[in-house]
Structure 1
Amino acid sequence: MEDLSKLSTWEQFTYYFRENGMYVLEQFMSHFFISVYGVLLAALIGIPLGIFIAKTSKLATPVMALANIIQTIPALALMAMLMLVFGLGKTTVIVTVFLYSLLPIIKNTYTGILSIDKSLTDAGRGMGMTRKQVLYMIELPLSLSIIITGIRIALVVAIGITAIGAFIGAGGLGDIIIRGTNATDGTAIILAGAIPTALMAVIVDVILGWLERRFDPQKKQQRLEKMI
């Protein structure tokens, strides 16, 4: 057996990946899906809620205040409270991610709907469109890039929160980081969990950033003008 104490941190890191590559990949996928499930649930609730408070301005302040209060609770403390209901494991982390993701998604949806020029929605109504048609054909397409920004922020934050979830038995790349912190000389093991976590966040940010620019109405207009 190779004496790892004689190897540099980088050599220990590559050795760990050679020996435990499938385990790291398994934890990477588990980490990613926990984050995505929580954000998707938040999007299913947050987007309709953001649209609703944009139409009903009186409710905007209390809803935003509640979402802000959730954000002020430390992630580990929130997990500890939720653990009393959902127990140890992935469900608690998914619910935590869901709660943390609500604020950016609700806020950006609300902002996106309100930022639309009212002359456009008035023109739609003038053409005989119903409220639903105005929403689906004018408001949502024009605010989509801002909504994607909220999802982008939520998902990047979720990846960090999911790493903490390893403390309550949810697995993911945080589990590898914890193993490294418990080892005598575990820097390489910590890096084996931390680097894929950072890489995941960067990839998600780049992909959703591209989608955000793709659906930006101003950028669409510029592309059309270039084509003409």
Structure 2
Amino acid sequence: MPRLLIAFLLLLVSCAPRSSSPPLNTAIIQGPVGFYPSQPGLDWIYLPLRASTSDPPLRLSVIGPASFEGQPAIRYRLSGRGLERSYYRQVDAGGVRLLGIEDYDKIQVARYTPPIQEYPPEASFAVGARWGGQTREVIELRLNNQTTRVSDRLLEYSYTVLGRSNVSVPAGNFEVYRIGVEYRDPRNPSLRENFEVWFFPGVGEVFTSMNFAEQGGLALVDRNFR
């Protein structure tokens, strides 16, 4: 998650309750799960690149259909290593769009208007593809029936499919698409952050530097579907 998007999270991490290490869902899901996997029950297990294999992992789970700020969505839950976060996405023929994020049992809520286009339509996904846009990010802190607006600003973002590479991660070997990601503040062009994501169709993100960047990013360790 870019610091430009959720800078205020750092204030909450130190005081948030620590969640236990998430076990992998042992029920193996067989069969195709789509180009952009979004089927309820799917699990991915990740570890920071610089972590030991004995360290607590993070688990990303597709919880299922949900509503975010009145809009239909699919809820994804990322938990472990003190993190408790829900992503609300729409996944359809138009690609993957991020509507918003909730942290620590809805204590902090970020919403994006219009939604962030994380991935394009499947037919448009190819080496050299580019997409992006501008969104308004509003972050609110919701405690004791009170809502405090923490941030309200514009963000510009761009994604570029840089190429394909054979990579090896703890979950195996994949010929991934390498995607370059940039977030920037249009009112301060010097304030920008760059990330890289490795995507494999039908599996999802094999590596991302958008979370735990200070530890080298997150690499896929296991998943519960084949």
TM-score, scaled relative to structure 2: 0.22
The answer to which structure has the higher helix fraction is 1
Q: 1 or 2 for the larger relative contact order (CA 8 Å, sep ≥6)?
A: 1
Q: Please identify the structure whose Cα radius of gyration is greater.
A: 1
